[in-house]
Chains A and B, each alone.
Chain A
Amino acid sequence: MAMGLGKLRGNSKQDLWIEIGIVVAIALILILIVPLFVQGFRLNMLGRFLALAIAALGIDLIWGYTGLLSLGHGVFFALGGYAIAMHLQLAPLEAGKLPEFMNLYGVTELPFFWQPFSNFGFSAIAVLLFPLALGSILGYLVFRNRIRGVYFSILTQAATIVFFNFFNGQQKLFNGTNGLTNFKTLLGATVSDPQTQFIFYTLTIVFLAATYALCRWLTSGRFGKLLVAIRDDESRVRFSGYNPTGFKVLVFGISAALAGLAGAMFTVQTGLISPKAMDIAFSIEMVIWVAVGGRASLVGAVLGALVVNFGKSLLSEQFPDIWLFFQGALFLIVVTVLPDGLVGWLRREGLSMVQNLFSPKEIATYPSLEEDLEVQREKETLGN
């Protein structure tokens, strides 16, 4: 493998600072420089996709590193979206008034669980807390019973069906299929105003950087190595004296909270949240982003989310009917040709390609061979 690079896999303070520098630089470029060249609709698209990248990081955390393939994270995403949307529905109203759709369906009184959402602070915390709580409880019940692998994935799918049907059917409570939309104001600012949208854009980038930092922290050090150990041989981890349940519940809960955060930031930049986000297709898309970008490499999750979504957007504009075929083809390509995704490919082939361009190829050998005179003689006489 890349032994010839001579780089040890230890942690180095210098590497850490370099990485922090790069992340901050990219964030600043996105916030300050990119908006000068890209405006309006396309900037909004970038903002929305960066929000999706937050969810992708959560998926990489549980799937790439811990081996938990959740095909139902759309539920957590949507819960975050609905939490903020409910506040946005109530925010511009005077006390006692109901959201438009409720008036339409003849609801006379605001349901009790809607009431706290008139408070921004509560809603903001709910964006993180509700998915976190649901994910942790669900995770605990599942992991403690040692439900793993395919059965776990099927369970997550079942969860999406339950939630989708609930939200889809509840017209009086959540406006059913149509979802919540027509956001007017948030904390006094007009939501559709370009300046407000720019603030959301900036916030998304900041949250993305913070999420990256969080995931980076979790996946390095002993905890991160343990996640990989759980992914590769959970049973062995038990024999080593660890109970994997706590670890899995923690990362699953965090990934749920991240999906919720992504859902909220996506919703404020899209102006709509509907039960479609709880559909199985969307949850599977999240997994495809990470698969394309490269599992177990946080950068890959962000990259995959951006690449796939921009690709989808581009292709949908040109060929609206065949996006689904492209998505299927993409999945097949990744599974067969790029099992480690784009980042994995870059690390292996890409890196060595660049190396070959700039420096002669280093062949890794056993140290004793270098010192063996006969081998050296052979090397010289027979060529490379």
Chain B
Amino acid sequence: MVTNTPDKILEIDNLTVSFDGFKALNNLNFSMDTGELRVIIGPNGAGKTTFLDVITGKTKPTIGKVSFKGKDLRKFSEHQVALMGIGRKFQTPRIYLNLTTRENFQIACNRHKNVFSTLFGAVPTQEKQTIGGLLETVGLTAKVDMQAALLSHGEKQRLEIGMLVAQSPDLLLVDEPVAGLTDEETENVGNLLLALAESHSIVVIEHDMEFVRQIARKVTVLHEGSVLCEGSIEEVQNNPKVIEVYLGSQEEHE
């Protein structure tokens, strides 16, 4: 009974999300293969965050369907979607500020996310090792027992990326991962995403064109709630519609 192609991890058909008449997403059609790294760009207000909200179950579509691995996501709640294998990193770092770096990871890494196991289960060694590895990957080993509120913006970004990886999702939704990062940190994040792309499917939303060029194979441009253009970075950059709406000349765009 599977009508969707099994190797498409995400399929979105005629998606419309209307808030009191305002169409945040307007007849959006999108699909993505398993194992793909897709970058979504577009001006602010194009509906990129709403797009992620619908996939993760936070906002219900007014019209249209979202399929993840062939399953219709509309009837699932946020935590169910997360457990199905979709992880999200937010636009501004959204970590648990009152907990330490380590505690943030422990919440993300937890294999059994129900009341009983969380209360009675001890943290298994395997998990401790995973956390250790993640700390190294995002470069936060020195700040492991520091309260997350005291981390710098870049460190908070890296922590959140680490938490996303810790959840070990099949589909990663990464919203502006390099906003506010130094050039070196940006390159590190880019390499991390490329490494992850070998065994995960990733959607990246970004504004930083340098970064997009570093990681992108296929780019989707969103504008006013629907797909304006799709293709490689060169095709998109030379598309007159995209230039008019988003890229403009290099000085205009940040």
Residues of A in contact with B (beta carbons under 8 Å apart):
1, 3, 8-10, 218, 221-223, 225-226, 228-229, 232-233, 235-243, 246-247, 250
Contacts and interface: CB of A to CB of B under 8 A. Distances in A.
Given A222-B110, A229-B96, 19 more contacts: A3-B146, A3-B150, A9-B145, A9-B147, A222-B107, A222-B121, A223-B119, A226-B107, A228-B96, A233-B94, A238-B77, A239-B56, A239-B87, A239-B88, A240-B167, A241-B79, A242-B113, A246-B115, A250-B119
B98 A232 contact: yes
Given A10-B145, A222-B118, A247-B115, A239 B110 contact: no
A228 B98 contact: yes
A247 B107 CA distance: 14
A241 B98 CA distance: 19
Contacts of B119: 218, 221-223, 250
A228 B145 contact: no
Interface in B74-110: 77-79, 82-83, 87-88, 90, 94, 96-100, 103, 106-108, 110
A275 to B, nearest CB: 34
A232 B107 contact: no
Given A241-B79, A241-B113, A225 B107 contact: yes
Report the contact-size class of chain B (Cβ under 8 Å from the partner).
Answer: 20 to 34
The 6 closest A-B pairs by CB, nearest first: A238-B78, A241-B82, A246-B115, A223-B119, A238-B79, A229-B96
Interface of B: 56, 58, 77-79, 82-83, 87-88, 90, 94, 96-100, 103, 106-108, 110, 113-115, 118-119, 121, 123, 145-147, 150, 163, 167
Contacts of B107: 222, 225-226, 229, 237, 240, 242
A9 B77 contact: no
Given A241-B82, A247-B115, A225 B106 contact: yes
A371 B146 CA distance: 21
Contacts of A223: 115, 118-119
Given A1-B150, A232-B96, A246-B114, A238 B103 contact: no
Contacts of B103: 225
Contacts of B123: 222
Contacts of A242: 79, 107, 113, 118
A222 B82 contact: no
B247 to A, nearest CB: 31
A260 B113 CA distance: 30
A246 B116 CA distance: 9
A243 B79 contact: yes
Nearest to B169: A241
Residue of B96, B97, B150 with highest tally of chain A CB at under 10 A: B96
A225 to B, nearest CB: 5
A225 B109 CA distance: 13
Nearest to A247: B115
A239 B78 contact: yes
A246 B88 CA distance: 23
A9 B145 CA distance: 6
* B56, B94, B119, B150: most-surrounded residue (chain A CB, <10 A): B119
A370 to B, nearest CB: 14
B240 to A, nearest CB: 38
Contacts of A10: 145
Contacts of A3: 146, 150
Contacts of A241: 79, 82-83, 113, 167
A229 B77 CA distance: 19
A354 to B, nearest CB: 22
A236 B163 CA distance: 12
Contacts of B150: 1, 3
Contacts of A247: 115, 118
A221 B117 CA distance: 12
12 contacts: A3-B150, A9-B100, A225-B107, A226-B118, A228-B99, A232-B97, A236-B96, A238-B82, A239-B87, A241-B79, A243-B77, A246-B115
Nearest to A7: B145
